[in-house]
Amino acid sequence: MTNKLALLIILLITGTLQANASMPADLYREPFRPQYHFTPLQQWMNDPNGMVYYQGEYHLFYQYYPHGNTWGPMHWGHAVSRDLVHWEHLPIALFPDRHGMIFSGSAVVDWQNTSGFGSDGEPPLVAIYTYHDSLGKNLGRTDFQSQAIAYSSDRGRSWTKYADNPVLENQGDADFRDPKVFWYAPTSRWIMALAVRNRVSFYSSPNLKDWTFESDFGEQWGSHAGVWECPDLFALPITGEAQSKYVLVTSVLPGGPNGGSATQYFVGEFDGKQFTLDEDLQSTLQVIPGKNRALWLDFGTDNYAGVTWSGLPGEPARRVFIGWMSNWLYATEVPTERWRSAMTLPRALSLHRTALGLRLHASPVGELEALRTASRSLEDMRVEQALDLSAELGGKPGQMEIEITMDTRDSEAVRLRLSNSDDERLDFTIDRNRRVYTLDRTAAGRSGFSESFATVQAAPIAGSLDELSLRLFLDQSSVEIFINEGETVMTALVFPNSPYSQVTLTSDGPVNIRRASIHELKSIWFPDAQQVVGNSDR
């Protein structure tokens, strides 16, 4: 092991990452390293876990393998943020033990100390996670996944596993994992949504230790092209109405609209025991053999296993979602070495009554505006065929937010291109004829690491095309596109050999730009740096 690596591991185990003179000089400056998305210091990360808000801190745990840059025996890595933008690395929270690896799960603040883990009047934080016993799996058993709990009385800094784990034994289904727990006040019970192969099973508990099966949802609804994972259930108000609905989110692998992993959702009612799909959605989502029918939370290839924060303040509280920004098709092969995988930007979810029915929208949280440094805008410009937006508005190579509101009704196709001096380009196209948005990364940069990577992704156009608003976040090796305030979202990885510096808009007819802005975004790791050294040198 090199000295540098040893030092990194010591830092990881013993505490917070602090800027330190002896740290590798290129840490967080490596090629493709996101500058304002969460990534682990080093090694492999997948799903976000245990997202809970307590005493001013947003906790983010994550599936973590500290000894390699591909998937391995899972731990829970840990970071906290006070603003959802800047992250502080903390020591690993949960290590594998004799019951197995620590798979995905959630965390809650047990305000009423129902678990009895609290002391001195302080509510405990309780994590609910899956044990994955690979030995049992290798022996051909089917009961190798079970649910367990751990608690913390020091704001998540240290964790004690419950002595009587597991708290929910396997019922014989090999896929039995990823518990997401919330407090359901009308029955004074904790509710667990659990992914069980092709459905979500609901369990209830008075104390987080004793669980009773309540019901199953999903076998006849939604996408079943793969196994269901990482569910989440929460109430959301319908925007502009007094009424609320329950939203059930579940990831599916494979079966995504553009291949591989993706996340679907359902809207309905929950009565403390059972989730019932809204009648309006039943014809859209009923399983028809040979078809893959679902409502997708994100149409891009790279947003998986996402869930929402528990315990956010406010009345009603925001529902903030974060996903793993990768895809199991190629996650272990992407061309990064010291670390693998980033999280998506945090997104606020909202429910809207649209012409198509009730739909979930996702928009970047407002806190992200703090990243903007230089911003330039233009207004009321008619574009005949092409506009070099970067020539007009500048922008920081590899690291910018682009906002455009435009009237596209006189064009069949409008294209926003990000490109670099190596003639690599990422094309986002509004294709009016086919009524789709496409995101073409076939010539966007490196792709040879996986046959599945160089694809053209598509999303159906959901709303009106006349006035269209776009918000695009570029961060070295990812783009997140929010169309019409998050009505449609596309998240995708890209690996350009040099950062994209050019932004051009082209069309086959006139386009009226109402307003276009480019915001340069700063690094959360080097907030004062002018230029991210190393990232321009791939």
Q: Which secondary structure element, helix H or strand E, spans residue 191, and what is its range?
A: strand 189-196
In the complex, least distance from residue 3 CB atom to ligand FRU, rounded to whole angstroms: 30
In the complex, least distance from residue 230 CB atom to ligand FRU, rounded to whole angstroms: 6
Q: Which is nearer to ligand FRU, 63 or 501 (CB)?
A: 63
CB atoms within 10 A of CB 291: 10
Angstrom distance (rounded) from CA 263 to CA 255: 9
Angstrom distance (rounded) from CA 523 to CA 532: 8
Q: Which is nearer to ligand FRU, 103 or 453 (CB)?
A: 103
CB atoms within 10 A of CB 293: 15
Angstrom distance (rounded) from CA 497 to CA 330: 18
Which position has the token pair 């939203």? 247
Q: Which is nearer to ligand FRU, 36 or 296 (CB)?
A: 296
Q: In Å, what is the CA distance from 113 to each residue of 118, 140, 158, 160, 184?
A: 6, 39, 18, 16, 15
462, 356 contact by CB (below 8 A): yes
In the complex, least distance from residue 242 CB atom to ligand FRU, rounded to whole angstroms: 36
Q: In Å, what is the CA distance from 160 to each residue of 103, 164, 209?
A: 16, 12, 14
In the complex, least distance from residue 99 CB atom to ligand FRU, rounded to whole angstroms: 14
C-alpha 538: how far from its chain's center? Answer: 26
Q: Which is nearer to ligand FRU, 306 or 398 (CB)?
A: 306
- What x/- string results for residues 152 through 181 when contact with ligand FRU is judged by CB under 6 A? -------------------------xx---
Does position 489 interact with ligand FRU (CB under 6 A)? The reply is no
Angstrom distance (rounded) from CA 274 to CA 137: 31
Among 35, 43, 46, 476, binds ligand FRU (CB under 6 A): 46
Among 150, 200, 230, 252, binds ligand FRU (CB under 6 A): 230
Q: How many residues bind ligand FRU (CB under 6 A)?
A: 12
Does position 480 interact with ligand FRU (CB under 6 A)? The reply is no
Among 110, 133, 229, 424, binds ligand FRU (CB under 6 A): 229
In the complex, least distance from residue 123 CB atom to ligand FRU, rounded to whole angstroms: 26
59, 52 contact by CB (below 8 A): yes
C-alpha 137: how far from its chain's center? Answer: 28
Does position 47 interact with ligand FRU (CB under 6 A)? The reply is yes
Does position 305 interact with ligand FRU (CB under 6 A)? The reply is yes
Does position 198 interact with ligand FRU (CB under 6 A)? The reply is no
Q: Which is nearer to ligand FRU, 100 or 486 (CB)?
A: 100
Based on C-alpha coordinates, what's the Rg of the chain?
23
Does position 340 interact with ligand FRU (CB under 6 A)? The reply is no
Q: Which is nearer to ligand FRU, 148 or 368 (CB)?
A: 148
Among 35, 81, 106, 130, binds ligand FRU (CB under 6 A): 130
Among 35, 42, 104, 476, binds ligand FRU (CB under 6 A): 104
Q: Which is nearer to ligand FRU, 3 or 138 (CB)?
A: 138
In sequence order, the 6+-apart residues with CB closer than 8 A to the CB of 137 are: 144, 174
Q: Find the distance separating the first CA and the last CA of the chain, reported in whole Å.
A: 25
Residue of 26, 47, 278, 440 marked active site: 47
Range 226-238 burial, b when 16+ CB lie within 10 A, else e: bbbbbbbbbbbee
Which position has the token pair 């090796």? 477
Residues in the chain, how many? 538
Q: Which is nearer to ligand FRU, 96 or 394 (CB)?
A: 96
Among 27, 52, 60, 74, binds ligand FRU (CB under 6 A): 74
What is the maximal distance between C-alpha atoms in the chain? 69
- 475 in catalytic set: no
Does position 146 interact with ligand FRU (CB under 6 A)? The reply is no
For residue 512, the SS3 value is strand
Among 61, 87, 103, 265, binds ligand FRU (CB under 6 A): 103
In the complex, least distance from residue 71 CB atom to ligand FRU, rounded to whole angstroms: 6
Does position 147 interact with ligand FRU (CB under 6 A)? The reply is no
In the complex, least distance from residue 424 CB atom to ligand FRU, rounded to whole angstroms: 29
Binding residues vs ligand FRU (CB under 6 A): 46-47, 63, 74, 103-104, 130, 177-178, 229-230, 305
Q: Which residue numbers are catalytic?
A: 47
